[in-house]
Amino acid sequence: MLFSLTPKTKKEDLFDRERELKDLEKLLETYPIVVITGLRRVGKSSLVKVFLNESDLLHITVDGRRLYETSGGNISSHHLTRFLGEELSRISKSQKLLNVLKRVRGITVSGTSIELNPKEFSLSDLLEKLNETAKRRKKKIVIFFDEAQYLRYYGSRGGNDLLALFAYCYDNFENVRFIISGSEVGVLHDFLKLEDYSSPLHGRGIGFLTVRPFTFDQSVDFFMEGFREVGEKINFDVEEIVREIDGIVGYLVLFGVKYLEKKNKDEALKEVFHAVKALFEKEMEELRKRSERYPFILRQIARGINTWSALKNIFRAKGDFIGDSRLYSLLETLEKMSFIEKTQSEYRIVDPVFEKILSE
């Protein structure tokens, strides 16, 4: 069903994304590591889940948030190994991995459950085994780290130990692939640290796929199909709603769900704004922790102070003599995290709902 609030897992529930599915397949053939970027609720998790379920690749999903929570906020290699073992137990039957893993020292298979003995077994051993297993079956094994912003709590060096392991896999295990996604602020800024020269991944080619909001027409079609699917005859103009909330599919779904509940478009719209506002506050808080200047810049851009020099002047006017290269890098980071977009010489806020909230 299109109007469902959890990430999609089946192709029949995924609206469009044909091109992205193909692109992802190609990227994984080329790059050992593929990073999926895009605004919150734009459909990153859904895209990857559907892709993996539809493909004949072996695959494991690691939800960074769950890993973080079950490890009490400090993720060790022990935790991750155990977590991967549990995931392997879940998938091995359907992906016919059990028989292969049975023969590996340090792995106990009882019934359909797999246990890894972390004493005999390091994380890189496990990846090596997975690589061999995949190779023997002439397949690739994909490990999908979703909500990867939480991986900065891996080890004691902001996730660098895990990045070093990724780098090692990159160079040595050609049948292991990683897909990395999650909140852009956290993933790009805090975990991957790609611009950082000392990051273990620096200089290695990485595939990037950006999931974009639906176009106006796609969004209208999405609503029509969603309402048709549940047999709801609507008596309002969906174009008007799309003009308000634009093409972020998570918001479209939320509108659909709320409309079906309330049968009132204005109330449904209000609920969407309410939910987005909560998300917005959380993200601003995250940004603020990194620099007070981020939310300030976003507010200015939403107010129309949207060129480099106008921004520089407004900082000056409040007594903040920010250096050129610093301002440049803040803007660049906001752009990378898809908060803003540059058109010719002007910046603009990408998400229209955010823009509205910012200029309130």
Q: Is 14 in the site for ligand ADP (CB under 6 A)?
A: yes
Q: Is 45 in the site for Mg ion (CB under 5 A)?
A: yes
CB 80 within 8 A of CB 154: yes
Q: How far apart are CA 240 and CA 217, in angstroms?
A: 12
Q: Which is nearer to ligand ADP, 7 or 295 (CB)?
A: 7
Which has the closest alpha carbon to 114: 138, 95, 141, 128?
A: 95
Neighbour-count burial of 145, counting CB atoms closer than 10 A to its CB (0-12 exposed, 13-18 middle, 19+ buried)? buried
CB of 46 to Mg ion, least distance (A): 8
Q: Where does this chain touch Mg ion (CB under 5 A) — which range of 23-31, 37-45, 110-118, 294-302?
A: 37-45
CB 147 within 8 A of CB 182: yes
Mask of contacts with ligand ADP, 39-68, x by CB under 6 A?
-xxxxxxx----------------------
Q: Is 8 in the site for ligand ADP (CB under 6 A)?
A: yes
Q: How far apart are CA 294 and CA 273, in angstroms?
A: 22
- Supply φ then ψ for residue 94, to 5 degrees: -70, -30
Q: Which partner, ligand ADP, Mg ion, none, binds residue 42 by CB below 5 to 8 Å per kind?
A: ligand ADP
Binding-site residue total for ligand ADP (CB under 6 A)?
21
CB of 87 to Mg ion, least distance (A): 17
CB of 324 to Mg ion, least distance (A): 35
Q: Which is nearer to ligand ADP, 6 or 309 (CB)?
A: 6
- What is the per-residue burial (b if ≥16 Cβ within 10 Å, else e) of 147-184? bbbbbbbbbeebbbbbbbbbbebbeebebbbbbbbbbb
The footprint of ligand ADP on residues 199-258 (CB under 6 A) is: 249-250, 253
Question: Distance between alpha carbon 271 and the CA centroid of its chain, in Å?
Answer: 24
Contact positions vs ligand ADP (CB under 6 A): 2, 4-8, 14-17, 38, 40-46, 249-250, 253
Contact positions vs Mg ion (CB under 5 A): 45
